Amino acid sequence: MLQRQPINAVLSNGNTVFGRLLSVDATQITLKDTRNHTHRIPVSELYEIVYDDNRDIVPPSRHAGF
């Protein structure tokens, strides 16, 4: 679903890598950034992946009280 989509991979150390998602497996994700560099990021180093879904739908909050 997200393959070829532009994403921000936020790492556990606070760094962010922006690029298009090329592949995902159980151990790593692979991105290609805007300078055409490939980044292989271990899943163990990922904090979150941020992307636009372009559906104009705001999902309900997962946090109580909001």
Q: What is the pLDDT of residues 25-48, one digit of tens each?
A: 999 999 999 999 999 999 999 999
Mean pLDDT of 6-28: 95
**pLDDT score of 52:** 82
- In CATH terms, is domain 6-50 a member of 2.30.30.100? yes
Three-state SS for the chain is CCCCCEEEEEECCCCEEEEEEEEECCCEEEEECCCCCEEEEEHHHEEEEECCCCCCCCCCCCCCCC
Q: Which residues contact 41 (CB under 8 A, 6 or more apart)?
A: 9, 11, 17, 28, 29, 30, 31
Q: Which one has a higher pLDDT value, 23 or 62? A: 23
**pLDDT score of 51:** 87
